[in-house]
Amino acid sequence: MSDVPLEMLLATAQQELRNVYRERAHLVAYLAAVHPSSIAHSDPTTPDWPVVTVETEHGQMSWHIAPDDVDLFDPIDPETPAFPWDGHSTDEKYARLRFLTEVAQVARRTPQAPPAPRYPYPDGDVTVLGPGVFASLDRAVVCWDGQDYRIPEPDAPEQAPAEDVQEPAEAPKRRGRPRKTAQTAPEAPSTLPEA
């Protein structure tokens, strides 16, 4: 037999149990924060322990919470009705929680599509204006689906037909897109977006 008095052993065990309840209450508070939930004194068999009910896409889960742990949750509002208990058992509650955990684990392991690019953005010697649309850094040439269009100067005279247009020494790179003969844009915008 131990030399520690029984009262001291009992007090230590009660504090350890209290710590376990507090840890569980932290996790339940997180679930209640990310899912529709209610907290209320809805169980007449345990009037001092409020019940936190969490509604998920896979079913309801509920826990009794120690009075000392109520501070982790939104305040109890007597005017807000509690979700009615759906009759789930403790085993059903933890089966639902296990399922939700597995779904979250699979979702985390599943590769996600990269975010869509935000236009415009610089890319080497061109500015990408949109899918398949590029502009030279000097904004003199716009490439749309591999077709180059020269943007006339605001007061410049009408340009010669495409056959007579001379290519600049260094045209923008098209990142593998086919290059065609430059044309004058039919109705060129007066300004292009800033890079």
Q: Which residues pair with 38 in a beta bridge?
A: 53
pLDDT single digits (tens) 61-107: 999 999 999 999 987 777 778 899 999 999 999 999 999 999 999 99
Note the pLDDT of residue 1: 54
For residues 96-124, average pLDDT:
89
What tokens does 4 get?
A: 């520690």
The model carries a pTM of: 0.54
Instruction: List Cβ<8 Å contacts ≥24 apart for 152-157.
Output: 152/184, 152/185, 152/188, 154/190
Comparing CA positions, the residue from 86, 69, 59, 72 lying closest to residue 32 is 72
**Looking at per-residue confidence, does 188 or 142 come out higher?**
142
Query: What pLDDT was estimated at residue 4?
Result: 80
Q: How are beta strands 147-150 and 183-184 bridged, if at all?
A: parallel
Q: Which of 62, 68, 122 is nearest to 92 (CA)?
A: 62
Does the structure show a pLDDT above 90 at 20? yes
pLDDT digits (tens, 9 = 90+) for 147-179: 888 888 776 556 555 565 555 555 555 554 444
Contact 54, 37 (CB under 8 A): yes
**Token code pair at residue 88:** 């789930």
Domain residues of the chain, as ranges?
6-109, 121-184
Q: What is the pLDDT of residue 44?
A: 92
Q: Which stretch of 8-17, 30-39, 91-100, 133-142 has the lowest confidence by average pLDDT?
A: 133-142
Mean local confidence (pLDDT), 142-151: 85
Task: Return the pLDDT at 173.
Answer: 52
Of 11-20, 109-118, 181-190, highest mean pLDDT: 11-20
Decide which of 166 and 114 is more confident. Answer: 114
Higher pLDDT, residue 20 or 185? 20
Q: What is the mean pLDDT of residues 119-141?
A: 88
